[in-house]
Every structure is written in C-alpha cells, then in structure tokens.
Amino acid sequence: MFSPVHIPVGMALAHWIPGGPIPVFCAGVLSHLVLDAIPHGDAGIGHWVHSSPNHVTKLQRLLPMVLVDQILGAGVFFLLLSSPLLASTGFWTLFAGAFGSILPDYISGFRDLLTKPPSWLESIHRLHEKCHYRGKEPFNIVTGLIFQSGLVGLSVFFAFR
C-alpha cells in the first residue's frame, strides 16, 4: 500500500501503545506487514516497475511514484500532527510510528535501486513480499487507489472527529 495509508496507522499506534518511540516503531513496522496483507490493487504497478527492460527505465518508473508517495505521505503526517486525537502524543513517538509504518517499503525500494542487492536485503525484501495478499485481486489499479484514498479519508475523519 502507499505511504499515506500506512502513516495514519503508525501514528494511531503511537497514540495507543505505551513505552515511547521504540515499541511504537516496532508496532509501526508490524502494522505495515499486516496492512499489506489486505488486497489493495497496486500489484499491477509493481509488475510494471519490475518488468522494466533495464535499470534506467526501472528508476524512471519508480522514482516519480516514490516522490509523489512521499509528498502525499508527508502531507498526511503533518495534517494528522495537528489533529485533536494525536495532540497529547509526543512528536518523536508519532514520528517513530510513522517511520516504522513505511520502513519496509524503504527497504524494498532501496533493494530495487541496487543492481545486485546483498542477500540479507533480499531476505528482508522476500519477507515483505510474502506478507502481501496472494489471492484473487478484487481491485485493479484505479479501484485500488480509490480504496486506499478512502482509507486515508477515514483516518483523517476519525483523527479530527
């Protein structure tokens, strides 16, 4: 899933889980893997990126998407920082939740940038991939994006209710 969906979950965990940034960060990472297991329609985008004929084309497909994803993710992060729900939670705890919630995608993205990734990075990436939904995909890219936008909208709604 895209970062704007993961970030609100990581931030909500920061609000709910006691113990400060470290447990919240770990919960954020786990939440990423759990959310990825929900069908969300961006498998086609992954195929499109990975079917690139060469490394340069791959980067040309991957980087603009990462940029938009990160800008929207940062927008959601800053918006939720000002929400009444999260007002009592410290900045670094919220940041740890948000960062943990998108870390698996950073790791896989970093692996995609390398022509020959080390085996430990491959193992982490494979674990991340394994967490993705494997059944018949109920969404295409467009309906998947609508679904993911709906989830972001719901998070914002509950944070500002």
Binding positions for Zn ion, rule: CB under 5 A: 36, 104-105
Dihedral sign of CA atoms 44, 33, 5, 73 in order: negative
**CB closer to Zn ion out of 3 and 93:** 3
Q: Which two tokens stand for residue 51?
A: 């079917």
Please state the closest distance from residue 12 (CB atom) to Zn ion, in A: 18
**CB closer to Zn ion out of 42 and 94:** 42
> Residue 124 CB: number of other CB atoms within 10 A?
17
**C-alpha–C-alpha distance, residues 27 and 30, integer Å:** 5
Please state the closest distance from residue 105 (CB atom) to Zn ion, in A: 5
Please state the closest distance from residue 13 (CB atom) to Zn ion, in A: 16
**CB closer to Zn ion out of 72 and 85:** 72
Residue of minimal Cβ distance to Zn ion: 36
Q: Which two tokens stand for residue 139?
A: 């969404």
Cα radius of gyration rounded to whole Å, the chain: 16
Dihedral sign of CA atoms 125, 128, 134, 140 in order: negative
**CB closer to Zn ion out of 124 and 156:** 124
Please state the closest distance from residue 158 (CB atom) to Zn ion, in A: 22
